[in-house]
Amino acid sequence: MSRLDEHIQSFLGWLEVERRYSPETVRGYRIDLQQFCRFLEANDEECIHDLDQIDRNVVRSYLGYLAGDLDQQPRSVARKLAALKSLFKYLHREGHVTLNIAAYVQTPKLPGVIPSYLSEKQIKAVLERLGDSDGWMGKRDLAIVELFYSTGMRVSELAGLTAGDLNYRNGTVKVLGKGSKQRMIPVGQYAWDAIGEYQYVIKKKFGPQADDQPLFLNKNGKGLQAGGIRLRVKKAIQTIAEMKKMSPHILRHSFATHMLNAGADLMALKDLLGHANLSTTQVYTHVQVDKMKKAFKKAHPRADRK
């Protein structure tokens, strides 16, 4: 193992233990940083043994390789650069490098991207189809999608839920988000009803759920992992919509879009989604802008030439 590989393993351990990042996030960092290692092995092997040999030109060459040779999109390149920035910030703080060179490399300009989302009619169709499913797994899948759409939580947050995180009296669910930050999210009645039916049937099949037991179970009675949840959501959405990306995040985007469309406060939505910065939430304001444009064109006497 090279010196760089060793430091990457140490960094990943720090993310997992100290920062308490989710396994999925750590896995993403590992993939991106290992790709940088493989690039150095093929093009400048001295760098993986002497970290001070890695300068801005090396990082820029790597970014050029990603964008040019691999034809990766700006957003992917920016994500991989962010992983390098985090790694070298850690190495600099720990005294393993004299300079955090990645901090001096400019992040590629990203095009404005409007998140994909489902219409309210499509969401209703997905839920109605799931509601027709027989068996306890069908009731589980309905409860998963209802809870996703009702709360807008992340897939990792839903996969980490235990039965004890549900507060029926207050109508909320306790979520452990990024950076181990807890937040309480209100849950709608449709989701509560679906969860109640799901818990009723699994009590018959597996026995009562302890508070510390995973909320959503697989066929063996163990906790349903994030990958399994993605698969169930993808299958549910595919029944009514043809989209390139079929992930639980579509339900998160739908939740945020529909909330704003109905007049929800942006700051309140930020807290519900667990965003650290308001700028992250503002990506959803495209809905309000579209509505304002339509209202302006319809009402203003000089909005358009007839």
Active-site residue set:
154, 178, 249, 252, 275, 284
Determine the Cα–Cα distance for residues 152 and 146; give it in Å rounded to an integer: 10
**Alpha-carbon distance 150 to 148, whole Å?**
6
Name all contacts of 45-50 with Cβ < 8 Å and 24+ positions apart.
47/4, 48/2, 48/3, 48/4, 48/5, 49/2, 49/3, 49/4, 50/3
Q: Tokens standing for 68? A: 């040019």
Q: CA of 73: how far to CAs of 63, 109, 126, in Å?
A: 11, 11, 31
Return all residues near 176 (Cβ < 8 A) that are at least 6 apart: 157, 160, 182
Q: State the virtual CA torsion across 39, 44, 45, 47 in degrees, nearest 10.
A: -100
Closest CA to 154 of 256, 76, 74, 242: 256
> Please, what is the angle between helix 248-261 and helix 266-273, to 10°?
160
